[in-house]
Structure 1
Amino acid sequence: MKLSTIFAAIIGAVIAGGGTAYYYQQDQNPAVSQSAFPVLALDKAHPGEINSSSLVNLSNGVRSVPYTLDAEAGLFYKIAVTGALRAQISVLQNGMLVANSNQSDSKASASVLAFKAETGGKYDVIVSGIDANAYGPFSVTATPLKSYVGGVVEAGMDITEIAMGRKQSFTLEVKEPAVYTIDMKADQGQVDPYLDLLDRSGREIASDDDGGDNYDAKIQTYLDAGTYTIQTSSALGADTFNGTYRLIINKADIPEVSLKSGDVLTVNGEKQAGLYMGDQQNFSFELAQPTFVNLKVDALGFDADVELDGLPISFPRRQNDGSTRAILPAGTHTVSIDGSQQGVYELTLGGNNLPPNVDDPRITPGQSIHAIMQSGADRVTHTLTIAQAGNYVIDLGSPSFDTYLSLQKDGFVIAENDDIDYNNDNLDSRVEVALQPGEYQIQVTMWNQPTRSRDYTLAVERK
């Protein structure tokens, strides 16, 4: 086929990005044939360049470089162009447009196109600038795609698939219990990745839309050995699921599990691991004296909800590790771990003696104390002893941080308050509650760990 014939055949093919029909400048030598095009050897990067001597579309000035690909019938192929050139790609066979990259981002520096070779033979792969101002070097690679749709996948695989406008399924074989990560990364086309993970019976274990980088999808969860189903689709609907994407499956090394719900923790700073399978896990620990406690939890495979003495510890957004440093009184304290999905966690509990300038955190009715939230701590627990039944008012205020007040007994929250009057900027805390004789805990909390010591006032009065 003559060069002039090949490019004349593209007339009328509307390519996204240029938005107009292609009409290329014919070579002065009409005897130049398709066989003169550089051949794209599979899995090999071929350097090229768009410059002023490249073939030009006379209607819009876009320039192009043609290649030849020998394709096998029934196989999928991925054409990737990288480099300085802002590129788009077209594929033709016998002068008919088979596919184009629909590249619409004028700032893009890479383009990817996947297509199916319905018949075997030679295909024309055309690398073009995205507009008339696109010049520069590039590298083009043609890769055959082995499809695993409907087949078996396992940990350690990184595969590229092409979506054809419908949801796709894969059988995941898990050989040993561990935390597994499944990443679905958009490569090209109308792919806003969406993932579903199902068990053998078809029950959904986990799903995700934007848990990965950008708008990619990611699932990380603990799985026992067995067979599961991964379903891939588009968050915009299966009918828009067109283009290529990567499916990456990895297995994470997990620590030896030693914790089980109900265990008594030792305050020694050593790291211990537990397995979360969907049910809340509860632990306790004893303090012989008021202690500066450091609690840290690292979760792998699930989003953990961790509470110390009934109040949550904070986790940074999109991270699965949280910690708290709290001044706690002598006695029994509790830690609970809950969350979504399943996974492994590591728990570290350490303690230090209180600084010399910190008093024993006890308070009695009729008393008002001035106390210090030590640098690095985010909560302090005071012990309140009630000798006479009645109605009590507990006030907490600070000139330097937003307070949060919680009154507890035997591990249960009786009353709590964040702001007395938020609308009028009164961020102090107050609770009014009827109490029976006994011992209670007042927990003073600030949500962000301070970089310096901050003072507060705590008062208890019987009405």
Structure 2
Amino acid sequence: MKLFLAGTALALIGAAPAQAQSPICGGISVVGEWVGGEEAGSDLTSAAQVFEADGRVPIAGHLVRMFSLSGATDIRIDVDAAPSGDPYISIYDAGGTEVAADDDSGENFGSRIQTTLGAGTYCLAARSYESGVTDVSVRIGAADVFGDTTPAATPQSSSPSGTEGGASCFTPGMARLGDGLTPSDLTGGIFANLTASESPALGFSLAQETPLSVIANSENGDPLIRLLDANGAVIGENDDFDGLNSRIDLTQSLQPGDYCIEIEDLNGADNAIEVGVEAFDPAADRLRRLNAAEYAPTSSDSVMVTDLGTLETALLHEVQASGDASWITIDLPAGGLVLTEVIGDGFDPIVTLFDRVGRRVAENDDGPEGLDSFLATRLLPGRYMIAVRLIDDSSGPVRLLMERYVPAQ
């Protein structure tokens, strides 16, 4: 991911030594470890070896590793889940400014950063898209001491041009993400950190036809985005694609030319928002939609499906639920009325029912009372698939209860 920083609103994550009482890297965390065990042994510029700094990313948290540079140095960081998972990483300087970030530039959903940094102290923050803890291997060092020199998407840090005055689309002073962008430029994504008051518009131009995604994420804001062409026509608009975050996926290639992203914040104008564009990834898009239970998986999809067998009368099954759908199959030996309940015990679940060919049969959230989900569906014999997920990013156990009633003879 190429990261461009604009304005003063930054999403900060940092670290300090595990034993330290005073936070560093922006004052966000006091839990972290030097890659060399101590500050004196953690200078990548002078080290002749790659540091191994494996660890565990906690649920909804981050793993922090610290290092120093005694001079400007080309560095490389590889973070891979062990044995599986999807980590993403950021580098922060001593003041808490994010100077590089990446997701999926390595192999098998691993993350890799290759960039040049000046002398100073830095923090690596590794996070994970997984709903549970994620064990990760961390390799960090000067780029020239890595045996494998396979290039990866190179994160960059810069400020979009024309950020003064909060200029709107296609007006003088409009902030820009980049010009003459190609599909390879967009592979890692190009993003800006800003507020809607500072930069209500971000312009960019494409040098080649390319499908792309426009993304806006914020911890405290509620971004709404529109993509406009050079004539001011709206190509796409989105609010609340994922929670309060927004996303526009353009599966058909955009033609070369000028474009602009309009940015509004429905929760105020001064919240930090990360806005950018990246190459549209069909595989990642399908996985996102499967996780949201927009449609049922097929045998070629790499999602786990739990088969509960035949529903004779009733079954009760505990599901470790998260914001990503958990998939379950059942078989009905005969037609009848099927009641489906998901009991959240404090969580807010949603349940979706699909038939054997993947058609959505029914869906419910919060019914008939409280946060639990309930379906009453008349079904024919056959195989059915159930998706259970939580409406937010929390995770925890919920109970799936299914009961089958047959017509009186």
Pair in the same fold by TM > 0.5: no
TM class, shorter-length: 0.3 to 0.5
TM-score (norm 2): 0.35
TM-score (norm 1): 0.32
Q: Give the structure, 1 or 2, with the largest relative contact order (CA under 8 Å, sep 6 or more).
A: 2
More strand by share: 1
Q: Which has the larger radius of gyration?
A: 1
